[in-house]
Structure 1
Amino acid sequence: MNQSPKKLAELYRHTLLDNVIPFWENYSIDNEYGGYFTCLDRDGSVYDTDKFTWLQARQVWTFSKLYNHVERRPNWLEVAKKGYRFLKQNGCDEKGNWYFSCNRQGEPLVQPYNIFSDCFAALGFHEYSQATGDEEARNIAVQTYRNIHDRQDNPKGKYEKSVPGTRPLKGFALPMMLSVLNLEMEDILESEQVEQSFERCTQEVMEVFWDPERKVMHEYVLEDGTFSDSYEGRLVNPGHGIEAMWFIMEIARRRSDQELIERAVDITLDLLELGWDQQYGGIYYFLDSDGHPPLQLEWTQKLWWVHLETLISLSKGYLFTGREECMEWYEKIHDYSWSHFSDEEHGEWFGYLNRRGERYTSLKGSKWKGCFHVPRAMYECWQTFEALDQQDR
C-alpha cells in the first residue's frame, strides 16, 4: 500500500468535511424557494434553476447522514430540512408518485415516470426521519418503499414506451437499488419483507444479470433471465456492476456470508479487467458484451461516479478479504481518480472526462450530478480505511 490506512482515512475525512460539503453548503441552497440548486459550474455559480427530485432527495440524505453519523451540526440539519420541506410540498402527485423534476418554485415539470425518483425520496426521507424523529417523514419513506415494491415488475407503468411482448426486458438498476434501500431502511421495515427482498435482489444480481461466461454484468436481460442479442441486451456499464458489488458485500457481511463476499470481489475484479482502458487509463462508461460498437456515443468517457464507486468496492473488498488484488487495483484507480477529477482550487470533483482523461466540461453539478456520489464515497472510504487502520494496530 503506497499510503497507510491512517493517511488515507484522513485524506477522505478532510476532503469530505473541508472541501466537498462546504461547496454544496455555500452554493446549492435556494434560500428563497427552498430545496437546492444542482446545476453548478466549477466555481459554484448557478447556470440552471430546475430541481430534479432524485438529486434533491440525495442531498437530503447526504446532510442527514452526516448529522446522524459524523457530527450533530445544526447547520447540516438545517440544510437537510430545506430539501425535505421542498420535496414534501412539491415533489409528488396525489398518489405519492414522485415527479422527475420541478421548476425553481416547485411546479412539476416532468411526470413521475422514473422510479429512481421514488427510491431516493425513500432514502432521503428515511435518513431525515432518523435525524429528527419526524413521524411524517418516516411514514412517507415507508409508503414510498411500498409503492416501489408494487411497481418493481413494471417500473415505468403508463410511461413505458416499448411495445408489450415483443422484447420483454428487465433492468439491472432496480434490484441493485433495492439492495441498498433494504440496507438503509431495514430498521423501519417489516423484517420478513426485508429478508425476502434481500433474497430476491441478491439472486437477481448474482445469478440473473451476472454472466459468468462473458464475465459481464448485463444492464438488461429478457424477462425469463436469458440473454438478449440486442443493443440493450449487450449493454454493459462496468461502474454500475462494480457499485452493486459493495452493496452485495454489505448484505453478505450482515449475513456473515464470506463466500458471497468473495464472489462479489471476484466480480469486481473481472469487471475492472473488462472496463479498464489499457491505453489511456480510467474505466470506460459503456461497453458491448460481445465487443461490438456500443450504441452510446459517450461510451469512452470517464465519469466521476464510476471511479468513486470502484474505490469503495475495492477498499471494502480489501477490508473484508485481505486480497492483494483489491489493493493493487485500488492504488491504480486512486491515482487516476484523484489526479483527474479532484478540484482543489474550487472544491468538489469534476464529473466528465474524455477518453484521454481531459476535462469534458467544467460543471460540478447538473441534471445527473449532485451532492451524492462524491460525499458518499468520501464517507465510505474514510470509514473503511479507519477500520483497516484499527486492524493494523
Structure 2
Amino acid sequence: MTDFSKLALQYKSELLDKVVPFWLEKSQDKEFGGYFTCLNRDGSVFDTDKFIWLQGREVWMFATLYNKVEKRPEWLECAIQGAEFLKKHGHDGNLNWYFSLDREGNPLVEPYNIFSYTFAVIAFGQLSIATGNQEYADIAKKTFDIVLSKVDNPKGKWNKAAAGARSLKSFALPMILCNVALEIEPLLSPDFLEKTIETCIHEVMDVFYRPELGLIVEHLGTDGELVDCFEGRQLNPGHAIEAMWFIMDLGKRLGRQDLIERAVDIALKEVNYGWDKTYGGIFYFMDRLGHPCQQLEWDQKLWWVHIETLITMIKGYQLTGNRECLAWFEKVHDYVWSHFTDADYPEWYGYLNRQGEVLLPLKGGKWKGCFHVPRGLFQCWKVLEELAAK
C-alpha cells in the first residue's frame, strides 16, 4: 500500500523547509528590486540579468503560497517587491513585456516572447487576489487581452519568418492559456471565461492531439495539418504531459469526467512513449518519425519534465483511480528524488545527461527559476494530503 501521508509530508517539508527559503533568501535583489535567477548550486549569484517570464513566475509563486498555504508577510513582501520592479521596468509603457532586463531594469531584449506576457498575467492576477490592489488586477486583465490579440502571431513584428514562408502554429500557447484562464478566473466575466476555456480545450484535445499518433505534436500547419519538417515532427513529452493536468483541472472545474478520462489516457500514452527504456527518465525532445532531432539537448533529462509528470500522474490517480497512474507516479518519484535532489544544498538540479548524471550544477538560470520545483511540490503535497485523508 502506498503511504500517502508519509509522501505528503515529504513533499510539504521539501517545499517549506528547503525550496521556498532558498528562493526567499538567495534570489531577492534587495538593492534594485526583482529577483536574481542565475544561481549556483549553493545559491550564489553568477549572472544578474533579469528575465521577465522568470520574474513573473516568482511573483506568482510567492503570491500563491501566501494565498493558498499561509499568510506569511515575508512571502507577500517578496511578491510585491518583484511586482513593483516589473511594473516599473518590465514593459514599454503599453504593457508590451520585454524578454529581459539588466540588473537595474534597463531593457535588453525586445518584447518578442509571448510567455513574458502570460506570466505577467498570472503574477499580477494572483497578487491582486492577495492584496485586493485594483491596479494589479487591471495590469493582469489588460495583459491578458493583449495575449489573446496575439494568438495568431505571438511574436508580432519580431517574427523572423520570411514573408509568405511556411507558417506553423505552436502548442505552447493554447496549452498555457488553459492554465492562465483558471488562474485569473476572478478577474474575468463568466461568459468570457467559458469561451476562452472551450477554445483552449478544443485546441489542445482536438487539434494538437493526433489520434493517428496517440500523441500531441508541438507544431502544426495553420490549417491544422501535420507538417514534415523539423518543427512539424517535434514532440515534447513533458509539455504534453503537463498540459494534461491543466486539462484535468479544467475537467474538474467544469464537472466533465469524460475530459479528465481522456487527459489521463493521453498522459499515459505520452509517458510510455517518452520514457527512456535504457537509462530511465523522460526524453526532452523526440521526432514523431524517428528522425534525428534538431535540438542537440534532445536526450537530456530535465527537472520540469519529470516534476510535471509527477503532478499529472498523482492527479490522474486521484481523479480516476487509474492504478497505472499511481504506478507511474511511484516510478517517476523514485527517479526524481534519486537524481534531481542535492544532498548538500537546497533546491534541485535542472539538467541531467541521458544517463542521469548532473550536467550543470546550477539551481537557477535563464530558463530555470522559482517555479516548477515549488509549484510541483505544492501540487503533489496537496493531492497526496487529500488521498491520505480518504
Instruction: Compute the TM-score of the two structures, normalised by the length of structure 1.
Output: 0.98
Q: Does 1:93 find its partner at 2:81?
A: no
- Partners of 1:58 and 1:333 lie apart in 2 by 24
Matched ranges for 1:1-393 at <5 A: 1=1, 3-391=2-390
Once the two structures are TM-superposed, the CA of residue 190 in structure 1 deviates from its matched residue by: 1.6
Per-residue CA distance 1:1-52 (angstroms, 9 max, x = gap): 4x41111111111010001001111110100000000000000010000000
What root-mean-square deviation, in Å, do the aligned CA atoms of Structure 1 and Structure 2 show?
A: 0.8
Identity of aligned residues (%): 55
- Partners of 1:104 and 1:363 lie apart in 2 by 19
Which shifted more, 206-215 or 47-56?
Answer: 206-215
Amino acid at match of 1:303: L
Contiguous gaps of at least 5 residues in structure 1: none
- Partners of 1:305 and 1:98 lie apart in 2 by 24
Once the two structures are TM-superposed, the CA of residue 344 in structure 1 deviates from its matched residue by: 3.4
- Secondary structure of the residue aligned to 1:379 is helix
- Secondary structure of the residue aligned to 2:162 is coil
Amino acid at match of 1:186: E
- Partners of 1:237 and 1:159 lie apart in 2 by 24
Which shifted more, 152-161 or 208-217?
Answer: 208-217
- Partners of 1:5 and 1:59 lie apart in 2 by 28
Per-residue CA distance 1:137-176 (angstroms, 9 max, x = gap): 1110000011101111111000011124331100000000
- Secondary structure of the residue aligned to 2:61 is helix
- Secondary structure of the residue aligned to 1:360 is strand
Per-residue CA distance 1:238-262 (angstroms, 9 max, x = gap): 0000000000001011111111111
- Partners of 1:267 and 1:48 lie apart in 2 by 39
Per-residue CA distance 1:221-275 (angstroms, 9 max, x = gap): 0011110011000000000000000000010111111111111001000001110
Contiguous gaps of at least 5 residues in structure 2: none
Amino acid at match of 2:166: R
Which ranges of 4 or more aligned residues in structure 1 deviate by more than 2 Å? 163-166
- Partners of 1:161 and 1:377 lie apart in 2 by 34
- Partners of 1:95 and 1:253 lie apart in 2 by 36
- Partners of 1:377 and 1:344 lie apart in 2 by 19
- Partners of 2:86 and 2:93 lie apart in 1 by 13
Amino acid at match of 2:296: L
- Partners of 1:146 and 1:226 lie apart in 2 by 28
Once the two structures are TM-superposed, the CA of residue 95 in structure 1 deviates from its matched residue by: 1.9
- Secondary structure of the residue aligned to 2:46 is strand
